[in-house]
Each structure stands twice: as C-alpha cells, then as structure tokens.
Amino acid sequence: MAAVKVMLSFPPGILNEIDRIAELEQRSRSELLREAVQLYIQTRYARCRPVDDYRVKQAVAIQDALARQSPGTSEDSTVDIRRWREARR
C-alpha cells in the first residue's frame, strides 16, 4: 500500500527537538515520526484495559459458568479448580 501524506502542526520547540533527534539518528523527520506513532499505537493497545479484550471476557464467562455448576468452597481456589477439572473428565 502506498504511503499517504498528512499535514501536522507542531509548536516550534517540539519541531526543533524532532529535527535534532532525526539529525542525531541520521534519518528523516518522517521516518522518526512514523516510528513514534507506531510505538504510541503499540503502547496504547498494550495499556488497554484487560476487560476490553474479548479473550479476557471469554475466560471470565467460562469461570462464571464453572462457578455456577460448582460454587466451590471459597477457601482454596486451587482445590476448586482441581475439582472442576476432574468433573470435566
């Protein structure tokens, strides 16, 4: 896919710092900003609340279903989990 150009506005101080880092690292302003945005996106997704992840929701739903089938003792979750596993066999 071809790159798409966008226009961005930065305060002079930030743009000066971007240019300084790009020059220090011997790369273009665009390359530096692309990497910065990619890093932000990765960090943003990593910080998402786990409850927003469908896999976490699915795991919680399974645990809730198991708890309804066998409420457990509430004393030792390891014992309860072993009992649930045995019951599934």
pTM of the full structure: 0.51
**pLDDT value of residue 48:** 67
Nearest-angstrom CA–CA distance, 29 and 8: 12
pLDDT digits (tens, 9 = 90+) for 4-17: 899 999 999 999 99
The pLDDT, as a whole number, for residue 21 is: 95
Q: Which two tokens stand for residue 40?
A: 């932000």
Q: CB–CB of 32/18 below 8 Å?
A: yes
pLDDT recorded at residue 74: 62
Positions of the chain with pLDDT lower than 70, given as ranges: 47-52, 71-76
Are the C-beta atoms of 59 and 44 separated by less than 8 Å? no
pLDDT value of position 45: 76
Cβ–Cβ < 8 Å for 53, 61: no
Element of type H or E holding 66: helix 54-69
